[in-house]
């Protein structure tokens, strides 16, 4: 994830402090994407409120469907698939689950 998504080898920062700061931020982003992907696969029926705040859940549903969310929060699997759709995941019958690059 650090190499493919964050492209950690690309930034040409002049000082070690800047490189450490960029690496710290990229590691948090990479960890969250990896955690989201794994949790969506291993515990798909849990509510997405475990990983997403209420405003994040509402914004996700509204962005993907074009309508405000109604009822209970999505399952974790559905939320991960919606995030994947924003990255180009087609969610067809035989596509399997979304991966890290698509979530990135």
CATH number at residue 39: 1.10.740.10
- Asked if residue 56 is part of any domain, the answer here is yes
Cβ neighbours of residue 54 closer than 8 Å, sequence gap 6 or more: 73
Average pLDDT over residues 36-41: 91
Structural domain harbouring 68 = 16-103
Number of structural domains (the chain) is 1
Is residue 6 in some structural domain?
A: no
Mean pLDDT computed over every residue of the chain: 85
| 8, pLDDT greater than 70 | no
CA dist., res. 52 & res. 71, Å (int): 16
Query: pLDDT at residue 83 above 70?
Result: yes
Look at residue 63 in the predicted model and tell me its pLDDT.
Answer: 94
pLDDT in the model for residue 71? 83
DSSP H or E segment with residue 85:
helix 76-86
pLDDT at position 76 is 93
Which is more confident, 102 or 54?
54
Rounded mean pLDDT, 16-45: 88
The pLDDT value given to residue 13: 66
């Amino acid at each position: 994830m650090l190499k493919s998504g964050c492209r950690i080898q690309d930034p040409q920062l002049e000082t070690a402090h800047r490189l450490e700061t960029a690496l710290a931020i990229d590691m948090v982003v990479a960890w969250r994407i990896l955690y989201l992907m794994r949790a969506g696969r291993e515990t798909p029926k849990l509510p997405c409120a475990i990983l997403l705040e209420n405003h994040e859940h509402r914004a996700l549903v509204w962005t993907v469907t074009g309508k405000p969310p109604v009822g209970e929060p999505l399952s974790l699997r559905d939320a991960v698939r919606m995030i994947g759709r924003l990255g180009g995941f087609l969610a067809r019958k035989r596509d399997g689950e979304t991966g890290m690059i698509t979530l990135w």
